[in-house]
Amino acid sequence: MARKGLTAFQRRVYRALARVPRGRVTTYGRLAARIGCRSPRAVGQALRRNPFAPRVPCHRVIAADLSAGGFAGRRGGAALKRKLARLAEEGVRFRRGKLAEAWRLW
How far CA 37 is from CA of 29, 33, 77, 83, 105, in Å, comes to: 9, 5, 29, 24, 19
* 2 within domain boundaries: no
Q: Which sequence positions are flagged as catalytic?
A: 58
Return per-residue pLDDT of the chain as tens, 106 residues.
Answer: 567 789 999 999 999 999 999 999 999 999 999 999 999 999 999 999 899 988 999 999 999 999 999 888 888 899 999 999 999 999 999 999 999 999 999 9
Look up the pTM and report it.
0.92
Distance from first CA to last CA of the chain, Å, rounded? 22
Contact in structure between 90 and 22 (CB atoms under 8 Å): yes
- Domain with 48, as residue range(s), is 23-99
* 40 within domain boundaries: yes
Q: What is the CATH number of the domain that holds 42?
A: 1.10.10.10
Q: How many domains does the chain contain in total?
A: 1
